[in-house]
Amino acid sequence: MPQEKKNNPHQGHRERMKEKIKNQGIEHLPEHEVLEFLLYPFIPYKDTNPIAHELIDRFGTLSNVLDASPKVLLEVNNMTENAALYLSTMPQLIKKYNIQKFGKKPVLDTIAHSAEYFQQLFLDEKEEAMYMLILNAKGMLLSSCKIGVGSVSACQLNTREFIMRTADSQGKFIMLAHNHPSGSPLPSYDDCQFTRWLVSFAEVLGIELWDHIIISAEGYYSFKENNMLETYAGVFREYMENAQAADKYSMEIRKFTDKR
């Protein structure tokens, strides 16, 4: 008597998953099922459910999985090189999508809107970084660039690139932002001193600092919104006025000395 074939409990599972996503969307799926679905095109001949479970068990959350490097992802059983590369580039894809939603030349005329734009720029940054936006008189974005990189706790401005980009632009204002990858967006003493220097440096270059914003997972801190830029404004002018007064005083002293 021929032996009956046992039913495969996973037979048709991918079709059922696709149908579920068609009807309900992906946002309500458990995290392991989202990963399972994302892996389908890159691991077509194996059950991706155990791989997805191992990813969540190892990294804890979907976001942690997507933030992992391809090298680390390849340590998971049955993970393929293409699948690891795909998962690790998802944050960059999401970032590109979100930024394009603002349009090619967004008008960043409010602090909240500017902070929202910066939050997208920092979406895939795991260490401290600094971005600069150059705006025209109406607040329209002319260009943006990463202007500084650093470690988890510190960032260094690329002064040479800062000068070159501001000097070559037709902008009226600049905005800078850096991130605090872990912790509060509240500024440190060094952040305040840097902003004070930045206001003066912008004045030297003939361009106005519209704001310096700190981005973190907890929100944002705006120096402009907290009236800190007003405190720092005019420091360079005051220095120059004092320097000119000192030069004038020195000239008068020399004249008086020469007469004697």
Residues 93 and 206 in one domain: no
pLDDT digits (tens, 9 = 90+) for 147-184: 888 755 566 788 888 888 887 778 889 999 999 987 89
Domain boundary among 98, 124, 149: 98
Contact 174, 209 (CB under 8 A): yes
Residue 254 counted as domain residue: no
Domain boundary among 67, 98, 129: 98
Residue type, 7: N
Residue 148 counted as domain residue: yes
Can you give the residue range of the structural domain that contains 215?
Answer: 104-241
**Interior CA angle at 26 toward 23 and 28, to 5°?**
95
Distance CA 39, CA 58 (A): 17
Residues 196 and 225 in one domain: yes
Residue 246 counted as domain residue: no
Residue 5 counted as domain residue: no
Residues 196 and 92 in one domain: no
- Nearest one of 90, 74, 81, 72 to 35, comparing CA atoms: 90
**How many independent structural domains does the chain possess?**
2
pLDDT digits (tens, 9 = 90+) for 42-100: 998 889 999 999 999 999 999 999 999 999 999 999 999 999 999 999 999 999 999 99
CATH code at position 86:
1.10.150
Mean pLDDT of 235-259: 52
pLDDT digits (tens, 9 = 90+) for 130-145: 999 999 999 999 999 9
Contact 151, 197 (CB under 8 A): no
Residues 124 and 220 in one domain: yes
Contact 24, 34 (CB under 8 A): no
